[in-house]
Amino acid sequence: MGMDRAVLYEALRSHDSRFDGKFFVGVRSTGIYCRPVCRVRLPKEENCTFFPTAAEAERAGYRPCLKCRPELAPGNSLLEASGDLAASAAAMIEASCGNDERLAELAHRLGCTDRHLRRVFEAEFHVTPLQYRQTCRLLLAKNLLTDTDLSVLDVAMASGFGSLRRFNAVFEQAYHLTPTGLRRQYRAAGRPVGRITVEIGYRPPYEWERMLEFLAARAIRGVETVRDGAYLRTVRIRDASGWLRVENRPEHSALAVTLSESLLRVLPQTLSRVRHMFDTASDPQQIAEALADMRRLDARLPVCGLRIPGCFDPFETSARAVLGQQITVSAATTLAGRISEAYGRRVETGIEGLTHTFPTAEEVLEMGGTVEERFGALGVIAARSRTISELAKLFASDRPERALHPETLLAIRGVGPWTASYISMRALGNPDAFLAGDLGVKKALAPRTAKEMEALAEAWRPWRSYAVLNLWTL
Residue type, 266: V
Show Cβ contacts of residue 99 under 8 Å, excluding neighbours closer than 6 positions: 160
- Which member of 34, 38, 65, 97 is catalytic? 34
The values of phi and psi at residue 82, to 5°, are -75, -20
Task: Output the CA angle 381-400-380, nearest 5 degrees.
Answer: 10
Asked whether the beta carbons of 338 and 323 are under 8 A apart, the reply is: no
Whether 293 sits among the annotated catalytic residues: the reply is no
Beta strand pairing call for 32-34 and 48-51: unpaired
Distance CA 119, CA 136 (A): 20
Show Cβ contacts of residue 128 under 8 Å, excluding neighbours closer than 6 positions: 118, 121, 122
Distance CA 329, CA 225 (A): 15
Q: Render 169-185 in DSSP notation, one character per residue.
A: HHHHHHHSS-HHHHHHH
Distance CA 196, CA 139 (A): 16
Task: Output the CA angle 148-152-154, nearest 5 degrees.
Answer: 80
Coil/strand/helix, residue 126:
coil
- Which member of 16, 114, 432, 438 is catalytic? 438
E strands, 309-458, in order: none
- Characterise 61 by phi-psi region: left (phi > 0), alpha (psi -120 to 50), beta (else): left
Whether 298 sits among the annotated catalytic residues: the reply is no
Asked whether the beta carbons of 294 and 301 are under 8 A apart, the reply is: yes
**Catalytic residue IDs:** 34, 438
